[in-house]
Structure 1
């Protein structure tokens, strides 16, 4: 009796385990194993399938986000959604035969089936940030690679028009070892809008960047390339970016323009105040700081020299020249050497034409206290004195000749020059005023270049 009970209990236990096992198999494990084995026996792992439709691997790319743009290194980082797939009748199956009609797709580990040898030529770093497997559908499509792709791509930046510049960067996906004899690369019209052998990439899921915006459509073009004499097919993606200039206009260009405009005030500071040179040097140093901040942003390229760099370099030289003029004006104004000015310069400084630039001509007074005269008669008297000096130096010391010359000049009133420093003050004013007009002209030209 005991043995009969034990046998009955054992048979019941085996029956329960058998039912559970069959239940697990009916959960899809057996169908999955059977389908995977069928696909592995139908789809090659290392070579393109012989029955691949149109002998073509299709490429789908959609840009999602611009992560970073490093202009100094010539690298920009961007995130794509990428699909690389092909059709093969060997991958087809009837879902009704597996999983009660529910098994119409399968996800397998990467490398289970053949993966095209496509490489991104301009990429310096490639990171797959999402799904890493392969997908097979009952319709016969095999997704060899489907993932989110983060790329660091080299790009030659043309910053000539910085900060109102636009850049054109290229990403090429090309065959590496296999050639068009083995398979072709194509783009399906189902996902793109073809325009004369060019396709526009959809950017419906694109996330806006705060520094760059996409300028125009992203164009994809199938074309032929070459490598060591071998013709290879590739797909070229051209992405045009336009810089958002507001930040650089507010942080660099505007302060630069304001400081450059303030340099005009140098010519309104009197030379006797002692602040003329120090103010000019302060403006120059401030411009150097802005210039250095600009160089930290732009690449050190000699192929595309930025117009902003050339303009700031020119302004730097201009302000340096203004500092030298300020030093010269202050030095002439104070006449530290105490020298008397040559008569020729005194004559020129007494001309009424100086009124045209807002300078009061040098005044020359007579000994009788008459009103100041700067006419041609006074100029002729100064010339006679000059002739007398030359004759005295070149002639023999003849008393008769000397008395004759003094007698002829007895009726000429002696000229008393102004204070020794006064002509130098007027000369300093003339140099400062002429430099002011030149500075205004150059300043206007630079601003017109910046606006253009």
Structure 2
């Protein structure tokens, strides 16, 4: 055999071996591909488990730093706030010796270890500042997690004494991925609000663990107080000013036509003010603001005053222009009846005018007394009356109840 043919045969054999090796690698990769996908799915499905603390639940200390309450909407019954959560717990399995690693602490991503998965019950929306915060693990095994959030939550405002109302708004954090036997929170609340240029101020802040809960949870309660002096003045001063203006208008002469136009204009102005006020004040199924009743009473008083003016003026006008001929006397000079006929008519009309003005004067005194008594009664009701809101549907058996697991 020639040397050229031998070399050609060796090349063909070498190429065939390479092709066979590539084919075997391809078949082997296709066989391992489903197993690799299965491993990735298992790794995604299995998350880090809560540290085993034996027969007692894992204690997680929670410090809630409330930094801002920036939006209080009484019409929508919502509160927007910003806060920082510091969660810390002890995991002895994460500790290490100094000779192994001289560092006092290390920083890890939050998805590398177990962290409480928190959900806010009253939240309409929640924005977490960091989707993957960092964990700080000390050499002794203490783990710390810092996370900030902004949330808009529902709040049941007590608006009976609006605009000097006080309400307690709760923000409840639940860890639905764990049970009460595995996890327990020890919450603490810290007020870090430094700005005072706001309508509602946080006068109290506390954190507690609700009783008889099925899952681990803790609750932060904000005690809000309305400090809007401008709102109080803008609501009460116009009402009192309109009442005083109405009393001053009643001092005008009854026969003056300007008195009716003055009263009607005042009533129409107050109707516009009352309609805008009712839209501005919140409505509630129970314990509505007392100011709604107060301004409705003012509307009724102004309406009565206007109707009294129109009625008295109508009686006087009817007495002035209705025919009331005087009886003829014997021996009168029929040729010159003018001076003699006006005197009896004037004597007949004078008692009617005096009677109408006397009734108007009596009404004015009664009206002033009613206004004074109504103001005193309103102050007494404002100070002493306490309204108890209706129970929520979850606590009323016909509408619902607590779920039983």
TM value normalised by structure 2: 0.70
Deviations 1:173-193 (A, max 9, x none): 223242112222223xxxx5x
- Decide which of 224, 228, 248 is 2:211's aligned counterpart: 224
Q: Is the 8 A contact 2:88 2:143 kept in 1?
A: yes
In the alignment, which residue of structure 2 is the partner of 1:77? 80
- Post-superposition shift, 1:270? 1.3
- Post-superposition shift, 1:416? 5.3
1:430 aligns to what SS in structure 2? helix
Determine the C-alpha separation between the residues in 2 that align with 1:442 and 1:428: 21
Structure exhibiting the larger radius of gyration computed from Cα positions: 1
Q: How does 1:79-94 map to 2 (within 5 A)?
A: 79-94=82-97
Deviations 1:44-93 (A, max 9, x none): 94321114895122222121111101101111111111123322012223
1:81 aligns to what SS in structure 2? strand
Deviations 1:286-326 (A, max 9, x none): 32333234323321213112111101001101111111111
* 2:68 pairs with 1:65: yes
Q: How does 1:424-439 map to 2 (within 5 A)?
A: 424-439=352-367
Q: Is the 8 A contact 2:57 2:180 kept in 1?
A: no
Q: Is the 8 A contact 2:80 2:153 kept in 1?
A: yes
- Post-superposition shift, 1:278? 1.4
Q: Is the 8 A contact 2:68 2:192 kept in 1?
A: no
Q: 1:79–1:104: structure 2 CA closer, same or farther, 3 Å change rule?
A: same
In the alignment, which residue of structure 2 is the partner of 1:20? none
Q: Is the 8 A contact 1:63 1:206 kept in 2?
A: no
- Decide which of 46, 52, 59 is 2:48's aligned counterpart: 46
* 2:362 pairs with 1:441: no
* 2:150 pairs with 1:140: no
- Decide which of 303, 307, 315 is 2:290's aligned counterpart: 307
In the alignment, which residue of structure 2 is the partner of 1:129? 129
Q: Is the 8 A contact 1:256 1:290 kept in 2?
A: no
1:273 aligns to what SS in structure 2? coil
Q: 1:338–1:95: structure 2 CA closer, same or farther, 3 Å change rule?
A: farther
Q: Which runs of 5+ in 1 are unaligned?
A: 1-43, 193-200, 342-366, 368-414
Determine the C-alpha separation between the residues in 1 that align with 2:156 and 2:367: 37
In the alignment, which residue of structure 2 is the partner of 1:289? 272
TM value normalised by structure 1: 0.64
Q: How does 1:184-199 map to 2 (within 5 A)?
A: 184-187=184-187, 192=188
2:294 aligns to what SS in structure 1? helix
Q: Which runs of 5+ in 2 are unaligned?
A: 1-45, 325-329, 331-342, 381-405
- Post-superposition shift, 1:135? 1.0
Q: 1:250–1:114: structure 2 CA closer, same or farther, 3 Å change rule?
A: same
Q: Is the 8 A contact 2:282 2:288 kept in 1?
A: no
1:270 aligns to what SS in structure 2? coil
- Decide which of 179, 203, 208 is 2:191's aligned counterpart: 203
In the alignment, which residue of structure 2 is the partner of 1:386? none
- Post-superposition shift, 1:418? 4.4
- Decide which of 225, 228, 247 is 2:230's aligned counterpart: 247
Task: Tell me how many residue pairs correspond in the alignment.
Answer: 317
Q: Is the 8 A contact 1:134 1:142 kept in 2?
A: no
